Amino acid sequence: MKNLLFTKMTGAGNDFILIDKKINPEFEISTDIIIKICDRHFGIGADGVLLFDEDINSSFKLNYYNSDGSTGNLCGNGARCAVNYAYSKKMFDSKKISFLSNNQSYSAEMLAPNIVKFYLNKPQKIKMNFMVKAFNQLIKASFVNTGAPHIVLNCNDILKNPNDLNSKYDSVDDLPVTKLGRELRYHKDFLPDGVNVNFITNDRDNIKIRTYERGVENETLACGTGSVASAIAVFLNNGIKPPIKLIVQSGAELIVDFNYVNNNFENISLTGPAQIVYNGEFII
């Protein structure tokens, strides 16, 4: 048996197990271990794992894994948690830091205790207002890849009863997110990799959002890259200007900001809470 020392963290309710390689030099990551420790009944429980390590060319490097062991995509809330962890370890003195996440360079800054602003790269692909067949109806959707692939749907465009045009959902609070999200996550239009699914509704100055995440295969309490994708979609569709506030399922607030210059998104950032919940030891 081996003892794994870990830090449990949360970014607006999106929760992670951070494993510091410096503290656990002999630890070897594997799909089986990720699934085991992320299990909410027989493990620690989390949406994903943050493998944190020192790096010669930057402040630190981060590898993110979903709770099913899959990887390769950016996790915005996970990155913000890792930055707060590095700050707690006094790995940087200034408020701004550069680091690697899944071999790509990013930067972030501490705005206040447990409040992290994370800067994302430009969206890799945007496709607005196409129709997707799901839930026995055609629904308008938008696709934005913010380091992870996302589709964004307004709940007002979804019918409870496909045969009744007046049966639209008024709020994301009423949506069966897991059922609807799972169908779209595995939709043939998004094969072979699948897609994350964001449901939004405009609530005056705020956007309410709920997200079904692939790799977790369930709704999460928050999704950073999904919030950025949704903010970009409402900007292009509804002209809502940044900074854009989004209320995630946990009730926390995430703020997305950016500049839009010559049809290009620049200086994209995601700001919100990220904090250490507890430190612990897990027997493998």
Residues annotated as catalytic (active site), given as ranges: 75, 223
CA atoms of 214 and 7, how far apart (whole Å) = 23
Question: In the chain, at which residue ranges do the beta strands (DSSP E only) sit?
Answer: 3-11, 14-20, 48-53, 61-66, 96-101, 104-112, 115-119, 125-134, 137-145, 149-154, 196-203, 206-213, 218-220, 244-247, 253-261, 264-273, 275-283
Residue 260, number of CB atoms within 10 A of its CB: 15
Which of the 8 DSSP states describes residue 28? -
Q: How far is CA 57 from the centre of its chain?
A: 26
Torsion of CA 82, 87, 92, 94, to 10 degrees: 110
Q: How many CB atoms lie within 10 A of CB 188?
A: 7
Measured in residues, the chain has a length of 284
